[in-house]
Amino acid sequence: MFDSPFDVFALIIAIIAFLIAIKASSQAAELRRRLSSLEEMFYAQRQVQPPPLMPAPVQTEAPATAPAEPPPLAPEPEPAPSPPVAADVSPPPLEAGLEAGAPPPLPAPAPGFEERLGTRWVVWIGGLALALGGFFMVRYSIEAGLLGPGVRVFLGGLFAVALLGAGEWTRRKEAISSMQALPIANIPAILTAAGTAVAFATIYAAYALYGFLVPATAFVLLGLVALGTLAAALLHGPALAGLGVVGAFVTPILVSSDKPDYWALYIYLAIVTAASFGLARIRLWRWLAVTTIVFAVLWIFPGLDAAELQVAPHAFHVIAGFVLAALLVVCGFMFGPGIEDGEIEPVSSSALGAYLFGAMLIVLSSVHADLALIAFTLLVAGTLFVAWRAPAATGALGAAAATVFIVFAEWAVRANPDMLVLPGGPMPGIGPTATDGAVTLHLVTAAIFAAGFGIAGFLAQGRSNSAIIPVVWSAAGVATPIAILVALYARIAHLDRSIPFAILAVLLAAAFGAATEALTRRETRPGGAISTALFATGTLGALALALTFALEKGWLTIALALMSLGTAWISMQRPIPFLRWLAAIFAALVTARIAYDPRIVGDAVGTTPILNWLLWGYGLPALSFWAASVFLRRRADDAPLRMVETAAILFTALLAFMEIRHFATGGRMTAAPSLLEFALQACITLAMAIGLERLRLRSRSIVHNVGAVVLTAIAGLISVFGLLILENPLLWHTDVGGAVFNLLLLGYALPAVLMLLLSYAVVGERGKVYANTIAGGALVFALAYVTLEIRRFYHGPILSTGPTTGAEQYTYSIGWLAFGVVLLGVGILVNSERARLASAAVIALTILKAFVIDMSTLTGVYRALSFMCLGVVLVAIGWLYQRILFRRQVAPPPAAPQPGA
């Protein structure tokens, strides 16, 4: 562990210096690579188009009509004059110093090991050593008791000033001598960084170790050092900027207090953020802006979990940061960097989205306090305004829409019945009387958000030459009003029938329909087709919601499934790829809806078998997804189609499972499983697997292929763990029913037949091991049925009670033997090798039982009959194999030779 805080500082400084060195090295390597590529391009161009080696001098003094006199000492004929060169044209910079005919200079070789060691590594290590030397000197003075605390602090400050002065002196010296500093081993920058680190440590030691400074003074001094470091980064480069921004945001952690003053903290952070954003804007350092945003968002979390959250200073922090980011970071807005029109810039969008995220956290942590909700509303409105003026920040619309939905969805799930009202009193079908004024504010902000996103999403069409920007606007304009309406419906109407909300949904559908019609009549613009399809889909979605609001709450699942079908149909009329994804998204929403409540309508499922809410809640979505998959497959076999096909298979399987559970439990969906339920599930799952195996041969769909395998695996798990272990009537007290038509027939004989059919369905289409494994399962369940039926004959409907007599044991042997003989007969008649091998397995099991069980448990005539029957059957089987299956033709004897031959 560390002996003193100076060890901690030493480690921190070492880590920071190492990270700065790595980043600087990467930047230098990139600069060298770019310089080399530029030189290669220049020389390649120079070889293709060489400039004239001896340009003719320009005669500026002689008259334009005066003939040029030949050289007096030139007896040979006068050469043709060279083309004149304009007087203001100078050769390229790299070419000016080249003599005529001289080859171009080769690029400078890469620095070797010795150069790196002497010019770079030594400087890095030297800067780190200077900083650590100051720390260790103070530590030594403490351990040896040489100097008092005041002198130590004074000497530390003096050493920091000396390092800062040395950094500034070397910088000016290099500027005067026109010496170009190495970008990755800048001595002035390293000296300044070391001085800054020593200054931080000295002030912190004066505050934390010796108590010379009160928290406020230490906070101010550390902040000034950090801001000074950021200012010095204008002269010394990015490494010092990184150190300054880290120090500035870490300062509040170093100077802590039992009673934190959030106003002082966030005013200080606003100043630091402004300085950092300003520096990032001047030098165009995107990494500095991103680092500042990350630290600023992290500083939102302190105090959020407090019993009494101070909303005002937290709101000031996110609003100030949002404004500064809009002014200095967002490209193309106010003082931000320039950018090409129609391009969405990630940093610009992420900066606004980060502060929206912080405002959302404040709203959720403050339990939707009025001030927090107002601040959040201002930031969302600011996002719309900035994105409208600066297309580079259009990506922030997605963050704004998402945070709006999260805020209202979280408000919707809160169990506060006293807030379920509308302003001015309740409306029919909505809720009780108003008791909390915050509901009014929520409804007002909801109306502002819905209108703002919807109107702006429509008006933004045609304003940009880029396709993505209008699409983002239209997506936010359609999704946000629908999401807000659903959240309010869940919060106020509790997902029950509500005519007022149905009317609102119809009005919203009408607005979307009018927008769709207006966009259809406009001239074609980039992104217009997709935006039109989005508004058309919003029309369908709002109409589906109107149906949901006007009917029972289970219809929401059906409505969303019908939206998927409707969107798939629209994609046939307008082949827009986004519509295919939208159909898949609706399928995913329906899947999430049933994950939340698998019973669709809670306890109101009903008690009638089959004809209950499960049939509508799972059956109609399944039909919708199957139909949607047919429409989508006509265009392409892509990811959206596979998602919809997966949903179709899932809802079909869930419909079967849920209806079986409802039937087996008498409507008590939470009851324990039974033999009847497992038997029905195994049979239905095997039947669906057979159907998918047949379907995949025509569709060649990977979803159908994988779905068949998954259903087969599920059927295997249900059969093994459910029928053979958990609800095996031999192990548990279970009433299997009548003598022939009973649960044994349903749970063991029918699954055996279905497994056999499935094994034949996959023969030649899948691996041999896969088909044989399924056939082996069929054999096991057929043999289990024979055994359990014999048990039922001797023990009645309860198989787990009563002793096993000798007659019962003998009957098992005879029954197994007869089953084996039947399999052998079938194998011979249809020439099936698998049936004959199954017969051999059953007969081998019978032989094993005879020698292991019958010999020890049977006595008297039963033992004799058991072995006699076994022997007769084995001999007969051997005869069948010899005479029928593997009959050998005896060659006739050779004819006797004729006499005289």
CB-CB contact of 500 with 429 (8 Å): yes
Question: Chain centroid to CA 605: how far?
Answer: 35
* b/e burial code for range 781-820 (CB count within 10 A of at least 16 → b): bbbbbbbbbbbbeebeeebeeeeeebebbbbbbbbbbebb
List CB contacts of 468: < 8 A, sequence separation 6 or more: 342, 344, 394, 527
Could you give the angle at the alpha carbon of 723 between the alpha carbons of 721 and 727, nearest 5°? 95
User: What is the distance between the alpha carbons of residues 645 and 587, in angstroms, rounded to a whole number?
Assistant: 9
Q: What is the 3-state secondary structure (H, E, C) of 145-200?
A: CCCCHHHHHHHHHHHHHHHHHHHHHHHHHHHHCCCCCCCCCCHHHHHHHHHHHHHH
Q: Specify whether the CB–CB gap between 734 and 798 falls below 8 A.
A: yes
**Alpha-carbon torsion (859, 861, 867, 870), positive or negative:** negative
pLDDT tier for residue 600 given thresholds of 50, 70 and 90: confident
Hey, what are 627's tokens?
A: 């139909």
Predicted pLDDT at 521: 83
Q: Are 884 and 829 in contact, with CB atoms under 8 Å apart?
A: no
- Two structure tokens written together for 4: 């003193």
- Write out pLDDT tens, residues 242-273: 666 676 677 677 666 667 778 877 877 887 78
Asked whether the beta carbons of 185 and 119 are under 8 A apart, the reply is: yes
Confidence (pLDDT) at 397: 94
* Least confident piece of the model among 264-273, 322-331, 691-700: 264-273
Question: Residue 187: what pLDDT?
Answer: 53
Q: Model confidence at 549, in pLDDT bands (50, 70, 90)?
A: confident
Nearest Cα to 197, choosing from 146, 163, 149? 163
Give residue 51's pLDDT: 46
- Helices 286-298 + 262-283 axis angle, to 10: 170
The rounded percent of the chain whose pLDDT value lies above 90 is 33
Least confident of 358-372, 431-445, 570-584, 717-731: 431-445
Question: In the numeric block, which tokens belong to residue 702?
Answer: 């990977």
DSSP 55-85: PPPP--SS-TTSPPPPPTT--SPPPPPPPP-
Q: Which positions ≥6 away from 626 have C-beta within 8 Å?
A: 648, 652
CA distances from 132 to 15, 208, 780 (A): 12, 19, 76
pLDDT digits over 752-806, tens only?
999 999 999 999 899 999 999 999 999 999 999 999 999 999 999 999 888 888 8
- pLDDT of amino acid 432: 41
Global pTM exceeds 0.75: no
CA distance 580 to 590: 16
Could you give the 3-state DSSP secondary structure of residue 467? Answer: coil
Contact of 640 with 580, CB cutoff 8 Å: yes
